[in-house]
Amino acid sequence: MEMRAWLDEHVGAAYGNFIGGRWTTGEHGQRQPIYNAADDRQLLGYFVQSTSADAERAVQAAFQAFGEWARTPPAQRSAILLRFADLLEDRRKELAYRLSAEQGKVLVEALGEVSRAAKEARFAAGECLRVNGETLPGENGSGYNAVVRSPIGVVAAIAPWNFPVVTPVRKIAPALAYGCTVVYKPASATPWASAALMELLQEAGVPDGAVNMISGSGNVVGDALVDHPLVRGITFTGSTALGIRIQTRAADRLARTQLELGGKNAAVVLDYSDAGYVARQIVNAAFACSGQRCTAISRVIVLEKRQKELTAALRQEMKSLVVGPAWDAAANVGPLINRAHLDSVQEHLRTALREGAALSCGGRVLEEGAYAAGAYMEPALLTNVAPEMRAAQEEIFGPVLAVLTAKDEEEALRIANGTAYGLASCVFTERTAVAREFADRLQSGMVHVNSGTASEAHVPFGGVKLSGFGAYSIGSSNREFYTEQKVIYF
């Protein structure tokens, strides 16, 4: 009950935009209520519905702060980010309560998300001191040439609703590390934890204007940021359709983009000695965050001779899943973000059944008792799924796992690569040569061998095909987005 008691004491406040180091009410002062995803009777707070004029003020504040921040010594920027990471850990419980309440994920996942954000902030702090270039000799021997990197300027950071803490940190921390300033727009459904992040950044010593936050509609403030001539880079995480729209608009003025988009991630199961281990890895990766994450496994491609055994192991592992609110210690699958998204996932299930798939287990909407106050459903396992079905091609973004079969390894590879997406994949095999071959030939930005699709805080993260564009995030690859080259001839 600790989380519920904390929420009862802290909900209901009105929040503004954070611009130039101060909280403002927005041009019109209009606010939108946000409710608890697990209990929609609880009002979490009111958040500004910003206008393009608010976006203009935020961009101007970031632009005015850019010159000084870019000239701030790297060691000083690093110290500020290290302090921010410490504050994330100091306020770990509060941040986890906020993001669990607004997004719905169970508390253990929320606590893990905050810890992951602190790790990524610490890596970014180290990057402050690793912005290296190169020195080349001059052609005539009378001088030398230096290739250096400079921050690109003001960056618009647009985040999704599924990871309200780690995604903004993943965008803001490297921007600050490389000397950029930021205008950040949280998802309309999950702005509450973001307000706390602004307070922590300010407490850590980030100067006024270096990071700004505006909440509201993507069609209004998101477009205003993407189109603004002073915004030199847009880092976006979200749907492929919206990412393509942003890319099209940004291309009109050659603004740089970093796009983390959708996925239809496959687990290719070739051979194993322990079906239970494989099933645990897949189920954990499929249903974490209630399946609402871009790297969730949504397809299992198994050789025909293993299909019955593996499907039985998946069903057995899914029996351990407990659906419930964040404050239920026994729960490991929370509600979906809202009822509209639940309806969308259910429609995908109905379509799969109409196309000939079979519902092996789960899929039921939960509406009785405490479930009546949130968008709850049992995780679903589909079998009899053919590669051309929508359940095998489209991103459902919910707790639905489809099992497909293949006659041999070549067919398994063709099925795995046979979608428009290419974010993450995994292959299960005890043969090293086969693992290496599949790692080479799988068309995805990240390949996991004998494990689920969990990423790490220091390794580049991104996808190919319709799953991403631009420099990978996390890791040293961020440098390619937040900085640009300059050549100096001495």
Which one of the listed residues 109, 113, 127, 260 is annotated catalytic? Answer: 260
CB-based burial label for 330 (10 Å; 0-12, 13-18, 19+): exposed
Under the phi-then-psi rule, with left for phi > 0, alpha for psi from -120 to 50, and beta for the rest, what region is 289? Answer: left
Closest CA to 441 of 411, 461, 462: 411
Note every long-range contact of 328-331, with CB atoms under 8 Å and residues 24 or more positions apart, other chains counting: 328/106, 329/107, 331/106
The residue whose two tokens read 């095998």 is 392
Q: How far apart are CA 431 and CA 449, in angstroms?
A: 11
Is 410 annotated in the active site?
no
**Relative orientation angle of helices 2-10 and 92-103, to the nearest 10 degrees:** 80
Q: How far apart are CA 162 and CA 113, in angstroms?
A: 11
Instruction: Answer for the pair 236, 244: CB distance below 8 angstroms, yes or no.
Output: no
Closest CA to 287 of 197, 380, 222: 380
Return the amino acid letter for 448. Answer: H
Give whole-number Cα distances, 449 to 166, 266, 302, 347, 452, in Å. Answer: 25, 12, 15, 33, 8
Q: So which residues are the catalytic ones?
A: 260
